[in-house]
Amino acid sequence: MSAAMRSLRQVLDQLAVVHECETGRAFDDAGDHEAGVRDALAAAAGLHQAANLVDRAYDRLAEGFVAAGRIAWHGDPAVEESVSRWVSVVFLQGDEADRALRILDEAGPADAVDYLTLWDYGDETTLASLTYGYVYDQPGEGTNDQVMTCGDYALVVNTGIGYVSLLRRYLEPDIEAGQSGPVVPSATRSGVSVPEGSWFQPTRSTGVGPSRGLEL
């Protein structure tokens, strides 16, 4: 790189000198010699200026190389990786799943996820899933399960059996196993009654999260 910049500086200087030395043969398209001389000298001045700028860039490059030469590169820093799993937010089957399935069919996965997040109570939901064992390595383990991810959530649908499930990504170090059992609330959000009996039914599938960018 250094050699290339030095060569470029020399070429620019040489071109500038040629324009200065050959003004006697410089004319414009109309045959005007004075105009040709002015243009030749202007070209020479521009080429000299470019050469000077390249020279300054070379100096900065040299300083960068010197600084880089003082660096002692070590191996990649150790990164503590969290184990990502999925906790159940809600499992709906039969008549209870009808509304979610209808939203999915009419408006798409994102709206279905938004609806099912009405059952997500954050840490309470996470703790309840951990306590009752509704934690999974992957969302959707059934033969005909369809899994759609949306950020940190996974929507799992099985139209053959007629159920829909929502799971949320969970990083295991965030929750300590020794915590006390959860309080499973019943509530109504945005006019939607949250069915207590359906919140933590066993499922082999689950989950999705707030960002958009759906995947199948």
More confident residue, 77 or 45: 45
pLDDT digits over 71-87, tens only? 888 877 666 566 788 99
Among 10, 92, 98, 105, CA closest to 51:
10
Whether the CB-CB separation of 161 and 106 falls below 8 Å is answered with: no
Residue with tokens 């840490």: 123
At residue 19, does pLDDT exceed 90? yes
At residue 207, does pLDDT exceed 50? no
pTM (two decimals): 0.45
The average pLDDT across 43-65 equals 89
Residues 6 or more apart from 82 whose CB is under 8 A from it?
171, 172, 173, 174
Which sequence spans correspond to the domains of the chain?
2-69, 84-198
The average pLDDT across 119-137 equals 91
Number of other CB atoms surrounding residue 46 within 10 Å: 14
What is the predicted pLDDT for the residue at 86? Answer: 92
- Quote the CA–CA distance of 94 and 29 in Å, as a whole number: 87
Sheet holding 153-158, edge to edge: 135-136, 84-93, 163-171, 153-158, 146-150
Percentage with pLDDT > 90 across the chain = 41
Among 215, 199, 210, 216, CA closest to 93:
199
The average pLDDT across 150-160 equals 90
The average pLDDT across 188-213 equals 37
What is the predicted pLDDT for the residue at 79? Answer: 60
At residue 209, does pLDDT exceed 60? no
Average pLDDT, the chain: 78
Phi and psi angles of residue 7, each rounded to the nearest 5 degrees, phi first: -65, -40
pLDDT tier at 11 (50, 70, 90 boundaries)? very high
Number of other CB atoms surrounding residue 143 within 10 Å: 8
pLDDT digits over 182-195, tens only? 433 333 333 333 33
